[in-house]
Structure 1
């Protein structure tokens, strides 16, 4: 029996790689680097990403993006991480050098650019690593909700984007099935409902696509969300979407990260307890709400930080700061969700910057905003915050209505 031709034997994987590249470009307008010499002996179970990172000479943090590609590009450019370009290719080139950047979650929902935004952040991660920098992404409550099948804040434009993605993804599956020596590709649409009684039929295709893409082990969740952090420490700063309590720290930050990753990969039947409920790390508002009779509990925050060696501040998103990035408790609590997305506030982009040693901390803001003190940023007087509308898909799956959006 003749041995297989080593040259021809390498063709099917090349075809599969071409198909993946084709689908990626059709969906996002971006090309992704490929490894021309993949290691066949690579460890199938590599070490999980670290939870703690050393101090950075320049550290920046960006708040919630909520499906707004245009405003996200503005924030990335403001932070000095990407070129101020309106093109997908230009905005995906990292120009931050050795900067370490953290995006604190809530990329999904409230807008129509969710998938393209995930692609952009992923492309910047790869380019940052090539230039000695890093872009680290944190999971928000909206990522957790979507993986769990809770689409109450998905918009019609967002559903359209997922429907478009599904058409290209299915085309890619069909092309791969034409290659006889390729293993049959996994079909993420298998078993997903295609009709939803009580919901307008024009949304069905998008809902089917969204479920298939974002459920545990789905092609979008596994690729773009599974490696995200739930909690992250860089130097003396802790990054988390909602906040941390003593019970979270005692459970272990590394443990929380790994349990959530296992769930998104499909290895756990249900979301871990620490990302479910009012006091979950992605839902907590205890250290982010000020005014109207609510104040940050500084004693409590100090105790939590004291349980994480070497940390001095907690940087959070999730709760919109209408006056811009704010700090409390002697700058131990830093809140960076400025309601940037046009689907949720349409705030002016702002970025937190922390210099070497963690001492030089400032807010980067777009003109003509005026900095008030060290933290507050006053918006233009003619700028009116716009309340967003979101789609609510009831958990029972029997209806669809619009509700006033809240972070």
Structure 2
């Protein structure tokens, strides 16, 4: 007869049981199994502000809840295969923020990117996600751009999240239970149709400071990123932001999302001159960009030669301004925006930048897929097919 030490109990199954519940909830919410995270992760690695130039860098613009366009963008760059798994080897990807709002697959995209992060890590690659103005807005309970379908997605998350906590409660006292994120969240919302109240409540609980989804998916995002000669930011940077401190900005956003900081400096997350809202360098008309201010900002960040931004939809696709020192990569790809054709920015280690595009306007008259050199303010524009390395180049 087996001794008591051999019995299956909460105590000797604590880690396994908790992991099982988390995996069960994750799959029920997203339909995805997540690989295990790195065995010995650097707790501060995700918040590093300064990185050297990688050999192969892809920048992806605003996604806004459109899962299919997100996948198409990554396929375009050869980063995932037809099954949605990482195939980018040692490539580095920067997603410049605004996963949230305007679409119905926000949570699904967050899980998808998290899975790819873990897969990329095992292949020597890296995916860095950033906070945009819509992440800041949602954490701050500004829901102006949500959709009815997104509220259903959050209601579904809340259902399975609560099921998971009920399962863990079976081992109460042994398995740590998270604090209840629904405490203090209103039950009813004045001026909102009653059928949406549950979704609003779930969205607030999930995304508020110290919420289960905000801390998991956004707290470790960067808000400003310097990678070699490139500085990435969702809206734009002014000299005052650089003087405030780029690392300080990233830390303060993280602390605010984790609920250990009461509020953000206004020029990080609110107002037309804030880091995630600025449009001074992303006007559709290149001549309307403040190139003099941009030159000044770039001169204050050692080694940086260009600023790469999302936030402002570029109807003509990814393009450059100010002699290529400002690159704007928000193509409004989401169906909730302008349903733009997917495009991504590719930067080689020598800092040469080109656009990978699904736009057939960049197809040769003979039907060949090729490159138009200097197509958009000094950027080479490439129409790619399924074999990213087999494009033809026109001089």
Per the shorter chain, which TM-score range?
Answer: 0.7 to 0.9
Contact 1:48 1:258 in 2 (8 A): no
Counterpart in the other structure of 1:342: 335
RMSD: 2.2
Contact 1:148 1:271 in 2 (8 A): no
Counterpart in the other structure of 2:57: 59
Contact 2:35 2:119 in 1 (8 A): no
Match of 1:170 among 138, 159, 162: 162
Pair 1:375–1:282, CA change in 2 (3 A)? farther
Rounded Cα–Cα distance in structure 2 between residues aligned with 1:198 and 1:321: 34
Q: Does 1:128 align with 2:126?
A: no
Contact 2:138 2:207 in 1 (8 A): yes
Matches within 5 A, 1:238-277: 238-273=231-266, 274-277=268-271
Rounded Cα–Cα distance in structure 1 between residues aligned with 2:162 and 2:241: 40
* Long gaps (5+) in structure 1: 85-89, 379-407
Bigger mean CA offset, 119-128 vs 222-231: 119-128
Q: Does 1:317 align with 2:310?
A: yes
Rounded Cα–Cα distance in structure 2 between residues aligned with 1:314 and 1:303: 12
Rounded Cα–Cα distance in structure 2 between residues aligned with 1:14 and 1:263: 32
Pair 1:320–1:178, CA change in 2 (3 A)? same
Counterpart in the other structure of 1:76: 74
Matches within 5 A, 1:118-197: 118-180=110-172, 181-197=174-190
Contact 1:196 1:204 in 2 (8 A): yes
Counterpart in the other structure of 2:16: 14
* Long gaps (5+) in structure 2: 363-370, 382-395
Q: Deviations over 1:112-159 (max 9, x none)?
A: 000000111111111111111111111100000000000010000111
Match of 1:198 among 175, 191, 195: 191
Rounded Cα–Cα distance in structure 2 between residues aligned with 1:35 and 1:337: 30
Q: How far off its partner does 1:46 sit?
A: 5.0
Q: How far off its partner does 1:375 sit?
A: 4.2
Bigger mean CA offset, 46-55 vs 123-132: 46-55
Q: How far off its partner does 1:235 sit?
A: 1.0
Rounded Cα–Cα distance in structure 2 between residues aligned with 1:375 and 1:253: 32
Q: How far off its partner does 1:49 sit?
A: 2.3
Match of 1:111 among 91, 103, 108: 103
Contact 1:57 1:99 in 2 (8 A): yes
Contact 1:362 1:375 in 2 (8 A): no
Aligned length: 364
Rounded Cα–Cα distance in structure 2 between residues aligned with 1:237 and 1:224: 24
Rounded Cα–Cα distance in structure 1 between residues aligned with 2:124 and 2:32: 21
Counterpart in the other structure of 1:32: 34
Match of 2:301 among 298, 308, 315: 308
Contact 1:23 1:169 in 2 (8 A): yes
Rounded Cα–Cα distance in structure 2 between residues aligned with 1:162 and 1:282: 24
Rounded Cα–Cα distance in structure 1 between residues aligned with 2:131 and 2:45: 19
Q: How far off its partner does 1:269 sit?
A: 1.3
Contact 1:176 1:185 in 2 (8 A): no
Q: Deviations over 1:24-71 (max 9, x none)?
A: 0011111122369x78xx99x757621011111111101000000011
